[in-house]
Amino acid sequence: MKRNTFYLLAGIVALAEVGIFWLSVELERPILIQVAFVLGVLLLYAARRAVEERIEDERTAMITQKAALRTLEVFWVVFFAVSLGSAVIAFSRPLGLRPPHPGPPGTAPPDVLELPFIGGFALFQMALLCLMIFLYVGFRMYYARKYGGWDTDEEQD
């Protein structure tokens, strides 16, 4: 498989995932997008292995390892800090995963976390995962530059 074919396939898979996501929302079946996402990633991993011109050597492997390690080091701190904040919010009032008991007559219903908040948190988690991707790409670029990946020489002219 040629590199451009792989990029085309990746685009098609991404579009299909977006469509399946909306279908999943419409049908109220989260398992649909979850399975589709895992299958999509597996398909892309398999396709990437079939790309012909792709050469991976010890230097590119080292850059990948270093970038992954740095991403993990930064990301776990960010993720843990955000999770701590979320835990404080969650523990500050009763969880409202189901309609609360109205309580004794004449008293106000208990203050609970509402379902839209949980949906918002899911979106926030996805934003954090996007941050992880940006961090990884940034570190890759940094190490590729550090280990001479983008240097110019007389043969490039």
Partner 1 sequence: MKNRIKVYRAMHDLTQEGLANELGVTRQTILAIEKGKYDPSLELAFKIARFFGVAIEEIFLYGDVTERK
Cα 27 to Cα 34: distance, rounded to the nearest angstrom: 13
Q: How far is the CB of 112 from partner 1 (least distance, A)?
A: 56
Contact 6, 48 (CB under 8 A): yes
Considering only 31, 46, 55, 108, the residue that binds partner 1 (CB under 8 A) is 55
Q: How far is the CB of 52 from partner 1 (least distance, A)?
A: 14
What's the token pair of residue 69? 């390690």
Q: Does 119 bind partner 1 (CB under 8 A)?
A: no
**Cα separation values, 67 from 39, 62, 72, 78, 86, Å:** 26, 8, 9, 16, 28
Cα 140 to Cα 62: distance, rounded to the nearest angstrom: 10
Q: Does 3 bind partner 1 (CB under 8 A)?
A: no
Q: Does 58 bind partner 1 (CB under 8 A)?
A: yes
Which lies closer to partner 1 via its Cβ, residue 26 or residue 57?
Answer: 57
Residues 6+ apart with CB under 8 A from 70: 135, 139
Q: Does 157 bind partner 1 (CB under 8 A)?
A: no
Residues 6+ apart with CB under 8 A from 17: 33, 36, 37, 40
Q: Does 53 bind partner 1 (CB under 8 A)?
A: no
Q: Does 64 bind partner 1 (CB under 8 A)?
A: no
Considering only 2, 3, 29, 59, the residue that binds partner 1 (CB under 8 A) is 59
Q: Does 49 bind partner 1 (CB under 8 A)?
A: no
What are the residues binding partner 1 (CB under 8 A)?
Answer: 55, 57-60, 146-149, 151, 153, 155
